[in-house]
Structure formats: structure tokens, C-alpha cells
Amino acid sequence: MIDIVWFFMRNESKPKSARRIIPLIHAVTLLAFILAFAFGCRPDEPSLSPATLSLKTRIQTNLDLFIPELAENIHKKRRKKITSILDSFYAQLNGPGASCPFSLALLDNHGVNITNRTQESFSGSQNYGNYQVVSNVLQKKRTFTSSLYLQSGGKVYIICVPLIGSEKLLGVIVIGIDSVFLRQSGITESQFMSMDFNSQATSTP
């Protein structure tokens, strides 16, 4: 802007040059105001409540710890190692105590349940690939949150994370969270859905 004003002042004794520069100054000034308005008035991302932020941190920490190793061993088809990682993942998520509000399910790259660490959220070799949330993960290779109703009539909230290795989709890890646990933690459904797990990588090179 300073260079343009200086150029205008230098050529103010030349009416034709000045007439060409004035619209340019106006255009640049208008563009600057538009950009300032657009970025200055952009709504902030929804802030997470302390309880929701604590849950997100707990989950993200475990994703960062286990997902890369899990994806690597799935890629290399190390079944015993995969089982060991899932056991550690499940124990770390739930922590000490009899209550286990978190469950895990490992799906293949078509959405079929391979194995799980849960009591009732997932069972057998059921194909979850037709579930919208799982389908989104398979197609977009991004993490999605959703909720499912169980056969028992209860409800579980889920986080579906793609397992990527050598730039290929290897499967999906599903973290289930008991609805009672969320309610007792003071976390609403909308707060749960607002958690974003796509800002950090959870895949192997």
C-alpha cells in the first residue's frame, strides 16, 4: 500500500497517471476491508467443556500410542502382536477398576468385525460396512463419531478411526463409549459429536 501511495504522489503532477492509480488504490483498500471482515467475523470453532476436553485428550493420547503400532502389525499380519496391542489398548483406555465404559472393535477394510474387546457392543463377524459412519471412514479415510443403539436397548457412542499403512486402508478401529458414562461425566451428545480427531495423524508412514 505504501508503494502504491508513493507512486501516486510521485505522479500527481501527471493527471493521466493519477487517474489510473486512484481506482487501483480504491480497489486495494476495498479488498483489504473485505478480507479483514471475512476473517475477523469468522465464527470460532465450538469450545469444548472441561469434561469433553478431558475425554478427547484421554482418547487422543491412546490413539497416538497404539494406532501406529496396530496399523503396522496389521500390515505385517502379526496376529499375536495385534492381540497384545488390543489388550493393552483396551486396558489403557479403561484404566484400573471394575467399570469398563470403553470398548474396542477391530474391523477389516470392508467393515467386517474381526475381533473386539467388549461385552455387548459388537459381536461375531457381523459386517458393519453398511453402517453410515463406518462407510464414511472406509470411503474418506477420516475419523468419524456417531452413536449406535444396542440390541439390549442401550446406546453406545462410537469413534471410528481408519487404520492406514503404506497409504492403504487396512481396517478400522472402533472405540465405543457407554452412554451412562458420558452422562455421568456431564458430556452431552452434541459435545461428544463436536470432538475432532482429524487434526492429528493416526497412521503409519
77, part of any domain: yes
What are 184's three cell numbers? 455421568
Cβ atoms of residues 145 and 158 within 8 Å: yes
Q: Of 75, 81, 107, 116, whose CA–CA distance to 203 is shortest?
A: 75
Rounded CA separation 31/23 (Å): 12
What pLDDT digit, counting tens, does each position of 179-200 carry?
999 999 999 999 999 999 997 5
Vertex 170, ends 167 and 171: CA angle to 5°?
A: 135
Other Cβ atoms closer than 10 A to 204: 19
33 and 100 housed in the same domain = no
Domain count of the chain?
2
Classify residue 154: in a domain, yes or no.
Answer: yes
The contacts found for 76-84 with CB under 8 angstroms, 24 or more apart, are: 82/106, 83/115
| Full-model pTM | 0.73
The whole domain housing 24 covers: 2-40
> Does 72 share its domain with 147?
yes
Rounded-to-integer distance, Cα 11 and Cα 71, Å: 66
Residue 52 CB-density burial (10 A; 0-12 exposed, 13-18 middle, 19+ buried): buried
Q: What is the CATH number of the domain that holds 189?
A: 3.30.450.20
Contact 106, 116 (CB under 8 A): yes
Residues 60, 33 within the same domain:
no
pLDDT in tens, 136-153: 999 999 999 999 887 778
* pLDDT of res. 153: 80
pLDDT averages per 10-residue partition of the chain, 205 residues? 42 52 48 44 63 96 97 95 97 88 96 85 72 96 93 89 94 96 95 89 43
